Chains A and B, each alone.
Chain A
Amino acid sequence: MREKMENNLMYVRAEPSIDLNKNTEWVTYPGVWTIYIFIVFFSWLLVLSLLGCSPGMAWTIVHLSHFFGLIGSEVCVFVELESISSVMGRYEQVKPLMGRLCALSGAEMGYARESKSTAMLQFFLARKKKPVVQEHCVLVGIVTYIFFHWKKGTPFADDQGIYNGLTWWEQIENGKQLTRNRKFLTVVPVVLYLIASHTTDYENPMLVLNTIAVFVLVVAKFPHMHRVRIFGINGEH
Chain B
Amino acid sequence: MITIPYLTALTTYFSYGLLFAFGQLRDLFRRIIDRWNSSNLQGYAPICLGLEDFYIRRLYLRIQDCFGRPIASAPDAWFDVVERYSNDHNKTLKRTDKIRRCLNLGSYNYLGFAAADEYCTPRAIESLKKFSASTCSSRVDGGTTTLHAELDECVAKFVGKPAALVFGMGYVTNSAIIPVLIGKGGLILSDSLNHSSIVNGARGSGATIRVFQHNTPSHLEKVLREQIAEGQPRTHRPWKKIIVVVEGIYSMEGELCKLPEIVAVCKKYKAYVYLDEAHSIGAVGKTGRGVCELLGVDTADVDIMMGTFTKSFGSCGGYIAGSKQLIQYLKYTCPAHLYGTSISPPAAQQILSAIKVLLGEDGSSRGAQKLARIRENSNFFRSELQKMGFEVLGDNDSPVMPIMLYNPSKIPAFSRECLKQNVAVVVVGFPATPLLLSRARICISASHTREDLARALEVISQVGDLVGIKYFPAAPKKEHQEDKMVKLD
Q: Which of A5, A18, A158 contacts B213 (CB 8 A)?
A: A18
Contact (Cβ within 8 A) A31 B35: no
Chain B neighbourhood of A10, CB < 8 A: 5-7
Contact (Cβ within 8 A) B9 A30: yes
Chain B neighbourhood of A14, CB < 8 A: 1-4, 9, 434, 436-437
Chain A neighbourhood of B434, CB < 8 A: 14, 16-17, 22, 25-26, 29
| In the assembled complex, B55 has its CB within 8 A of some CB on chain A | yes
| In the assembled complex, B486 has its CB within 8 A of some CB on chain A | no
Q: Which of A183-210 contact B (CB under 8 A)?
A: none
Q: Report the nearest B residue to A164, measured CB to CB.
A: B49
Chain A neighbourhood of B2, CB < 8 A: 13-14
| In the assembled complex, A2 has its CB within 8 A of some CB on chain B | yes
Q: Report the nearest B residue to A30, measured CB to CB.
A: B9
Contact (Cβ within 8 A) B17 A39: yes
Chain A neighbourhood of B3, CB < 8 A: 6, 11-14
Q: How far is the CA of A16 from the CA of B31 in the complex (A)?
A: 37
Given contacts A16-B192, A30-B9, A39-B17, contact A153 B435 (CB under 8 A): no
Q: Report the nearest B residue to A107, measured CB to CB.
A: B35
Contact (Cβ within 8 A) A35 B10: yes
Chain B neighbourhood of A92, CB < 8 A: none
Chain A to chain B: the 6 pairs with minimum beta-carbon distance, closest first: A26-B435, A31-B9, A155-B54, A156-B55, A35-B13, A22-B431
Contact (Cβ within 8 A) A18 B211: yes
Contact (Cβ within 8 A) A156 B431: yes
| In the assembled complex, A1 has its CB within 8 A of some CB on chain B | yes
Q: How far is the CA of A34 from the CA of B213 in the complex (A)?
A: 26
Q: Report the nearest A residue to B9, measured CB to CB.
A: A31
Q: For this complex, into which size category does the number of interface residues on chain A fall?
A: 35 or more
Q: How far is the CA of A153 from the CA of B48 in the complex (A)?
A: 12
Q: How far is the CA of A108 from the CA of B473 in the complex (A)?
A: 54
Q: Which of B212, B431, B437 contacts A18 (CB 8 A)?
A: B212
| In the assembled complex, B488 has its CB within 8 A of some CB on chain A | no
Q: Report the nearest B residue to A77, measured CB to CB.
A: B28
Q: How far is the CA of A74 from the CA of B24 in the complex (A)?
A: 11
Q: A-B pairs with CB below 8 Å: how many? A: 117
Chain B neighbourhood of A117, CB < 8 A: none
| In the assembled complex, B67 has its CB within 8 A of some CB on chain A | no
Chain B neighbourhood of A154, CB < 8 A: 51-52
| Extra pairs beyond A155-B51, A156-B56, A158-B431 (9, CB < 8 Å) | A13-B1, A13-B3, A14-B4, A16-B192, A26-B436, A32-B13, A73-B28, A158-B196, A161-B49
Chain B neighbourhood of A25, CB < 8 A: 434-435
Q: Report the nearest B residue to A24, measured CB to CB.
A: B435
| In the assembled complex, A112 has its CB within 8 A of some CB on chain B | no
Q: Which of A22, A31, A39, A77 contacts B6 (CB 8 A)?
A: A31
Q: How far is the CB of A74 from chain B (nearest CB, A)?
A: 7
Q: What are 23 pairs between A and B in contact, CB < 8 Å? A: A6-B3, A9-B6, A10-B7, A12-B4, A15-B213, A16-B193, A25-B435, A26-B435, A31-B9, A31-B13, A35-B14, A77-B32, A101-B32, A108-B31, A151-B51, A152-B51, A153-B52, A155-B51, A155-B55, A156-B52, A156-B53, A157-B48, A158-B431
Q: How far is the CA of A12 from the CA of B2 in the complex (A)?
A: 8
| In the assembled complex, A104 has its CB within 8 A of some CB on chain B | yes
Q: Report the nearest B residue to A23, measured CB to CB.
A: B431
Q: How far is the CA of A152 from the CA of B475 in the complex (A)?
A: 48
| In the assembled complex, B239 has its CB within 8 A of some CB on chain A | no
Q: Which of A31-72 contact B (CB under 8 A)?
A: 31-32, 34-35, 38-39, 72
| In the assembled complex, B472 has its CB within 8 A of some CB on chain A | yes
| In the assembled complex, B241 has its CB within 8 A of some CB on chain A | no
Q: How far is the CA of A16 from the CA of B212 in the complex (A)?
A: 11
| In the assembled complex, B416 has its CB within 8 A of some CB on chain A | no
| In the assembled complex, A230 has its CB within 8 A of some CB on chain B | no
Annotate B383-397 by CB proximity to A: 1 below 8 A, 0 otherwise: 000000000000000
Contact (Cβ within 8 A) A12 B6: yes
| In the assembled complex, A20 has its CB within 8 A of some CB on chain B | yes
Given contacts A16-B214, A38-B14, A39-B17, contact A29 B435 (CB under 8 A): yes
Chain B neighbourhood of A26, CB < 8 A: 434-436
Q: How far is the CA of A76 from the CA of B31 in the complex (A)?
A: 14
Q: Report the nearest A residue to B23, measured CB to CB.
A: A155
Q: Which of B10, B28, B48, B211 contacts A20 (CB 8 A)?
A: B211
Q: How far is the CA of A153 from the CA of B32 in the complex (A)?
A: 22
Contact (Cβ within 8 A) B475 A1: yes
Q: Which of A15, A29, A74 contacts B9 (CB 8 A)?
A: A29
Chain B neighbourhood of A156, CB < 8 A: 52-56, 431
